[in-house]
Amino acid sequence: MTDRPALTVVTDDPTPPYEQLRRQLVELIRYGVLAPGDRLPPVRQLAADLGLAAGTVARTYRELESAGVVVSRRGGGTRVAAAPPAGSDPTGALHDRAATYVREARLLGADDDQIVSAVARALDSR
């Protein structure tokens, strides 16, 4: 990433910093700002740039890697993963997005019935 987009962390946001960062990176990848093969900044550099602990950025990268969004190699850094082939199983990505939705809904004070109801309404409105 040469002219990398600005990543920010809002300290008074109830969302943990690693999750704020993870969401931003996923969006940058989803919209093509970061393309497959693009290298993410080293953990220590990004942590220093954002005023975060290196462990926070490392957790973000681990979460992205477990979701298949990035790949990390010792000595090769962390890079945006190749796009999944057409027709591939989206189960892992769906689970990650669902978990994020549930976590955010709970931060808003929603209970399980409200969360399920919101998903049902979203499915009905398509």
Instruction: State pLDDT tens for residues 54-110.
Output: 999 999 999 999 888 999 998 889 999 997 655 556 676 677 778 888 888 888 899
Does domain 1-83 fall into CATH 1.10.10.10?
A: yes
Q: Whose CA is closest to 61, among 50, 46, 48, 51? A: 46
Domain borders along the chain are 1-83, 88-126
Quick check: pTM over 0.75? Answer: no
Cα 62 from Cα 25, distance rounded (Å): 13
Q: Rounded to the nearest 5°, which phi and psi values hold at 7?
A: -105, 140
